[in-house]
Amino acid sequence: MDPAALQNLAAESRLYRRRVMLIVGVIAGLAVTQSLYALHLGDRFLLKDGIDWIYDVALWAVALAVFGRGQRFEELAALWVAGVLLVAAAHTGYDLWDKIVTGRRPQPWVAGWSAFTAIGLALFVVALMVRFRGSDNPLITATWLSSRNDMISTTAFAIVGLWARLNPSQGPEIVLDLVIIALNLQAAGAIGLAVYRDWGRCRLPDRQTPESYATSGANDAKSMD
């Protein structure tokens, strides 16, 4: 690879890290502020949403930590992500049980705030990641595509969630929580299975650089032709 291309990849990697750090910082700030305010109000719905943002911080932080470090670190990070998803599923399950037992419902402003922040942050992340839509780095490209898809799904899910929380019946909200639990469990299981299967295969060299990621991705694509 010529020096100019290497410099471009290095610059792209630095920009990617800075933007992911900004995303982590913004979400962490929202999570802490909302959780502390929820504790002050004694609002468990607001607290649950604030803690949910912490899961996003954990996922983005581990993605930043393993960037360019090789397959071994990616596998460990994948298991960490699976663990975070399991914790999120358990937390949602407990919250669902508590809502059924107590019959509590969110205040309209809490439901509206939850939908507004979910959509707003999804748009914020896409605005930062759209710069990398043409990247040759598979990991960076995957982050951009995931952010784009998440914006669409989050917007739809937030609107449905707002309707469910404001519905006179608690039924739609219960169904929504069950769907969230199922999705988290399915994702955690799929990640764990993928890592387990990968343990039996040949590993790529550790400590890969962003440039070697792009090269190995191109070679894999050619081998599939």
DSSP per-residue codes, 101-146: HH-----HHHHHHHHHHHHHHHHHHHHHHGGGTT-S-HHHHHHHHH
Domain of 84 in residue numbering reads as 3-211
Q: Is residue 216 part of a domain?
A: no
Examine residue 102 and state whether it is found in any structural domain, yes or no. Answer: yes
Q: What is the CATH number of the domain that holds 11?
A: 1.20.1510
**Residue 86 maps to a domain:** yes
- Taking alpha carbons only, the member of 99, 91, 68 closest to residue 173 is 99
**Do 100 and 144 contact (CB within 8 A), yes or no?**
no
Q: In a structure prediction context, what are the per-residue pLDDT tens digits for the chain, which is 225 residues long?
A: 567 666 777 787 888 889 989 999 999 999 999 999 999 999 988 998 899 888 888 888 887 887 777 777 767 777 888 888 899 889 989 989 988 998 888 889 988 998 999 999 989 999 998 888 877 766 677 777 778 877 877 888 889 888 988 888 889 889 988 988 998 898 888 878 877 877 766 454 544 444 444 444 434 433 444
- Mark residue 67 as left, alpha or beta (left: phi above 0; alpha: psi -120 to 50; beta: remaining): beta
Single out the residue of 118, 107, 117, 121 nearest to residue 25, CA to CA. 121
What is the identity of the amino acid at 62?
A: V
Q: Are 95 and 55 in contact (CB under 8 A)?
A: no
Task: Decide if 222 is inside a domain.
Answer: no
Residue 149 lies inside a defined structural domain of this protein? yes
pTM for the model stands at 0.70
Flag whether 223 is in a domain. Answer: no
**Integer Cα distance of 93 and 174 in angstroms:** 10
Whether residue 141 lies inside any domain: the answer is yes
Distance CA(117)–CA(121), nearest Å, equals: 6
Residue 61 placed within a domain: yes
Total of domains in the chain: 1
